[in-house]
Amino acid sequence: MVKSETKDARDGCELVIDYDPSSRVVGIEIV
């Protein structure tokens, strides 16, 4: 599953998953 989303900190804790061109999935948790 390839997914790319961005949320504001105002939305609370959101999980941002981006598919990197380097063939790796990077998950960033925004608080």
pLDDT truncated to tens, each residue of the chain (31 aa)? 455 555 555 555 566 666 556 655 556 665 5
Q: Report d(CA 17, CA 31) in Å as an integer.
A: 14
User: Can you give the pLDDT at residue 16?
Assistant: 62
User: Can you give the pLDDT at residue 1?
Assistant: 45
Going from N- to C-terminal start, the domains of the chain cover 1-31
Q: Report d(CA 14, CA 9) in Å as an integer.
A: 8
Q: Closest Cα to residue 14, out of 1, 2, 31?
A: 31
User: Can you give the pLDDT at residue 26?
Assistant: 59
Alpha-carbon torsion 29, 21, 3, 6, what sign? positive
